[in-house]
Amino acid sequence: MDTHWVTILLILIALPFLTFVIGALVQNQWRRSIKSKVESYRPSATNYWKELNRPVLCVINPFGGAKLGRFIYEEKSGIQHEAVYTLHAQHPKQLAEEINIYQYGAQIIIHSWINGLANRKTKGSPEEILKEVLHKVPVSFVPGGSSNGVCASFGIDEIYEAIKNFIEGTPKPLDVMEVKTYEWEEGELGGPRERVFDIHALSYGITTDFDVLTEGPLRFLGPTIKNFLAPILVVLSGKRYDGSVLLRPVDVPHEDIASGELKDGDPKLKRKGICTDPNKFEKVKAPACAERKEGDWYKIPKSKIALFVTMNVGWGASGYCAAPGFKPDDGAVDMVIARNVGTVEMFRFLVGMETGTHARLPHVEIVQVDEVVLETSKTELITVSGEPLERGVNRFVVKVHKGLGMAVYHRYADFRKNYPLCK
If asked whether residues 59 and 161 sit together in one domain, one would say: yes
Q: Is residue 277 part of a domain?
A: yes
pLDDT score of 38 = 64
pLDDT score of 369 = 92
Which tens digit of pLDDT belongs to each residue from 371-410?
A: 999 998 877 888 888 888 887 788 899 999 999 999 988 7
Q: Domain total for the chain?
A: 2
**Does residue 370 sit in helix, strand or coil?**
strand
Q: Is residue 10 part of a domain?
A: no
If asked whether residues 268 and 319 sit together in one domain, one would say: yes
In whole angstroms, how far apart are CA 286 and each of 246, 252, 299? 8, 21, 10
If asked whether residues 152 and 200 sit together in one domain, one would say: no
Asked if residue 59 lies in contact with residue 108, where contact means CB atoms within 8 angstroms, the answer is: yes
Q: Who's near 259: CB < 8 A, 6+ residues apart? A: none
If asked whether residues 162 and 258 sit together in one domain, one would say: no
Using a pLDDT cut of 90, give the percent of the chain over it: 20
If asked whether residues 196 and 329 sit together in one domain, one would say: yes
If asked whether residues 181 and 164 sit together in one domain, one would say: no
pLDDT score of 105 = 87
If asked whether residues 129 and 192 sit together in one domain, one would say: no
If asked whether residues 140 and 218 sit together in one domain, one would say: no
Which residues of the chain fall below pLDDT 70? 1-2, 4-6, 8, 12, 15-16, 19-20, 23-24, 26-28, 30-31, 33-35, 37-48, 50, 62-78, 144-147, 186-187, 222-224, 252-275, 413-423
| CA end-to-end span of the chain | 60
Helix or strand holding residue 348 (H, E): helix 343-353
**Does residue 105 sit in helix, strand or coil?**
coil
Q: Is residue 267 part of a domain?
A: yes
Report the 10 Å Cβ neighbour count for 270: 13
If asked whether residues 75 and 48 sit together in one domain, one would say: yes
Residue 41 burial by Cβ neighbours in a 10 Å radius (0-12, 13-18, 19+): middle
Which tens digit of pLDDT belongs to each residue from 47-91?
A: 667 677 788 888 877 655 444 445 455 555 567 778 888 887 778
Buried b (16+ CB within 10 A) or exposed e, 305-316: bbbbbbbbbbbb
If asked whether residues 243 and 374 sit together in one domain, one would say: yes
0.85 exceeded by pTM: no
